[in-house]
Structure 1
């Protein structure tokens, strides 16, 4: 049984679009690659066939993952997000205590994470550490470079 995946309406539509593209366009392309490789003869020593079959396996696994996410998706209404604690879709402004640098992150589902837009997954180390916390709290986050102390300065929706 999969856990609930919280998405924005935009994130849900992107997931649906990605799934449709994988089912229609990508499946068709891989089927054509397999057919071409099969036409080359002996499959026991056919690298193109092996590569196409492997790509097919990866695609099917990705499709299953997207189908599961879609089946357990719940759209979060941004107007209903409580700003007293950091939750999904909260904008959390933090101060890195060591670097003395501020950053603002939007907490989102893994499918919507985009570091370039400061949208971090609630499943990431920073996202997990911030989730459920309040303004004024300081959290310690283990990251590849060590441990960082983040002070929560503000939470908005």
Structure 2
């Protein structure tokens, strides 16, 4: 598998999540133990819930552990370019509707479209990569092909990251 870009801040956040998940293990094991001591496991909702919680926790830990070696950690405070690359804040205008949108290009584990950041691996992110102000971009979206014009490309560094 290819390397996965991630901001230094995003990597630190994922490391903290992993530590927190690992810290939750003893409490879940204790909950399973206590539920098991209640007797019949076939009708023990507490046991089933604790086992399900353990399964989800372990799946997330496994997922994060599998991605950690693939991360290409990038300090976005050191980036500057005229082209749209990882870490760029890009403003685009829909050519048909004249609606403008602003996107921060991040990796898939960093991006949160609800906070204005998108993955460089998403259709829109891939279409924007390498583009400069004034370039036209065509994106295949569920509603059809959308044509955009790149209005601006800026590098705001960690100041441009969405706040939690």
TM-score when normalising by structure 1: 0.84
Pairwise CA RMSD: 2.1
Aligned to 2:9: 10
SS of the counterpart of 2:81?
A: coil
Given the alignment of the two structures, is residue 118 of structure 1 paired with residue 107 of structure 2, yes or no? no
TM superposition shift of 1:48 = 2.8
TM superposition shift of 1:79 = 5.1
Is the contact made by 2:8 and 2:76 (CA closer than 8 Å) also made in structure 1?
no
Aligned to 2:135: 137
1:5-60 CA distance string (max 9 Å, x none)? 222221111111011001112x2332232123212211223233223222212211
SS of the counterpart of 1:110?
A: coil
Pairing 1:39-58 to 2, within 5 Å after superposition:
39-58=37-56
TM superposition shift of 1:118 = 1.3
Aligned to 1:90: 88
CA pair 142-33 structure 1, distance change in 2 beyond 3 A? farther
Within 2, Cα distance between the matches of 1:134 and 1:113?
A: 21
Aligned to 2:18: 19
Q: Name structure 2 gaps, 5 residues minimum.
A: 156-164
TM-score when normalising by structure 2: 0.81
TM superposition shift of 1:145 = 4.0
Within 1, Cα distance between the matches of 2:92 and 2:35?
A: 53
Aligned to 2:158: none
Q: Which runs of 4+ in 1 moved over 6 A?
A: none
Q: Name structure 1 gaps, 5 residues minimum.
A: none
Aligned to 1:70: 68
SS of the counterpart of 1:60?
A: helix
Is the contact made by 2:83 and 2:132 (CA closer than 8 Å) also made in structure 1?
yes
> In the alignment, which of 31, 38, 42 is matched to residue 33 of structure 1?
31
Structure 1 range deviating more: 138-147 or 8-17: 138-147
